[in-house]
Amino acid sequence: MIRIGIVGYGYWGPNLVRNFFALSECDVVAVSDLDSARLSLVSRQYPSIRTFLGSTELIGNLAIDAVVIATPVHTHFDLAMSALKAGKHVLVEKPITSSSEQAKRLIQEAEKRGLVLMVDHTFLYTGAVQKLKEEVQKKTFGDLLYYDSTRVSFGLYQPDVNVLWDLAVHDLSIMSHIVGAVPREVSATGRASMPGQPEDAAYLTVYFDTSIAHVNVNWLSPVKARRTVVGGTGRMIVYDDVEPSEKIKVYDKSVSLGTKPDDVHKNLVSYRIGNMESPRISDTEALFSEATHFIDCIQRGTSPLSSGAQGLEVVSVLEAANRSLSDRGAPHLVNLE
């Protein structure tokens, strides 16, 4: 039985506690927060869980095997490093750290100690993204042409990171998971609408060797959208996470070069349009699948899908994106060595 301690009971923490609590393979034994009012919520709902004001005692506690960190980004590195050094397995909120340098050090520490280091790239554990990956890997999909995502909503400014580090991180992890191509270079533009606050709208292009990705993220959109289009030479897939059902639609559409121009447009491109299919998707809560996977990796000593290495890749792209953002879109290489 893996004993879990959770650091941070703010916005995301309650979801983590609820899901780990529901898992029979582990025990949530402790929760910490800096705010005692939040801790009394824990005690009311889960009388069996011990609470700690501040993380130090929790992380140092010998009766805890694994630590889940759900705190602001700038605290991730210190908390995760302390936990690893205390011999705990670690699951940390996304993005893994504030810098690639920090991510590398966590990875090294975890490797050295043989501990699981996992980052909470939640979307990888949704039925929709699992199905998306399956569809992209089919022969009929062909080669990837582009990945184009819009992830916008109203509210939920983050105080310590910009909107790319908050929202584009989801797309970068999904791309890493389903595409597997290496992000070579980025161009990012954006805008900070509120004086003294981070960028709330940003547009990121990622160049792979033979395809391109684009991500539009915004904290100030009046309507929520989480719409991703993945275009292949044989199929085109729309993943709309706001849809209550039919989140994935696979379009049998493709284009090809002809040898003589059409009548009306005088061009050489011809189109094939077939049926659309929307595969059934598992509706298990993503965080439950993720919690299960974390416990499973600990028990088997295997590496998680959303490993420290993937966390590092995502942060490396975000670092390049920040540099490009300062340069008003000038291309910056992703430093991946």
Q: What part of residues 12-41 is at the interface with its own copies (CB under 8 A)?
A: 21-22, 35, 37
Contact region with its own copies (CB under 8 A), list: 93-101, 146-154, 173-181, 298-306? 146-154
Contact region with its own copies (CB under 8 A), list: 87-95, 104-112, 117-125, 214-222? 214-222
Q: Is 159 in the site for its own copies (CB under 8 A)?
A: yes
Rounded CA separation 3/130 (Å):
28
Q: By CB under 8 A, what part of segment 237-266 binds its own copies?
A: 237-238, 242, 244-246, 249, 251-253, 255, 257, 261, 263-266
Q: Is 99 in the site for its own copies (CB under 8 A)?
A: no
Q: Is 140 in the site for its own copies (CB under 8 A)?
A: no
How many Cβ atoms are within 10 Å of 160's Cβ, its own excluded? 12
Rounded CA separation 73/97 (Å):
6
User: What are the Cα distances from residue 99, in Å, to 57, 76, 125, 143, 336?
Assistant: 26, 10, 24, 32, 12
Rounded CA separation 188/202 (Å):
7
313 SS3 class: helix
Parallel/antiparallel/unpaired status of strands 26-33 and 50-53: parallel
- Under a CB-based contact definition with an 8 Å cutoff, are residues 192 and 199 in contact? yes
Contact region with its own copies (CB under 8 A), list: 91-99, 119-127, 150-158, 304-312? 150-158
Instruction: Report the greatest alpha carbon distance in the chain.
Output: 76
| Identity of the residue, 296 or 331, whose beta carbon is nearer to its own copies in the bound complex | 331
Rounded CA separation 168/214 (Å):
10
Q: By CB under 8 A, what part of segment 103-122 binds its own copies?
A: none
The CB-of-167 to its own copies minimum distance in angstroms stands at 14
State the Rg of the chain over Cα: 21
Q: Which of 165, 207, 239, 294 binds its own copies (CB under 8 A)?
A: 207
Q: Which of 15, 133, 181, 221 binds its own copies (CB under 8 A)?
A: 221
Query: What are the structure tokens assigned to 24, written together?
Result: 């029979």
Backbone φ and ψ for 85, nearest 5 degrees, come out as -65, -25
| Identity of the residue, 88 or 94, whose beta carbon is nearer to its own copies in the bound complex | 94
> From residue 57 to residue 96, what is the string marking binding to its own copies with x (rule CB under 8 A)?
---------------x------------------------
Residue corresponding to tokens 């729309």: 238
Residue corresponding to tokens 């898992």: 23
Q: Is 222 in the site for its own copies (CB under 8 A)?
A: yes
The CB-of-271 to its own copies minimum distance in angstroms stands at 5
| Identity of the residue, 111 or 327, whose beta carbon is nearer to its own copies in the bound complex | 327
Q: Which of 1, 63, 194, 336 binds its own copies (CB under 8 A)?
A: 194
| Identity of the residue, 111 or 262, whose beta carbon is nearer to its own copies in the bound complex | 262
The CB-of-325 to its own copies minimum distance in angstroms stands at 10
Rounded CA separation 313/279 (Å):
30
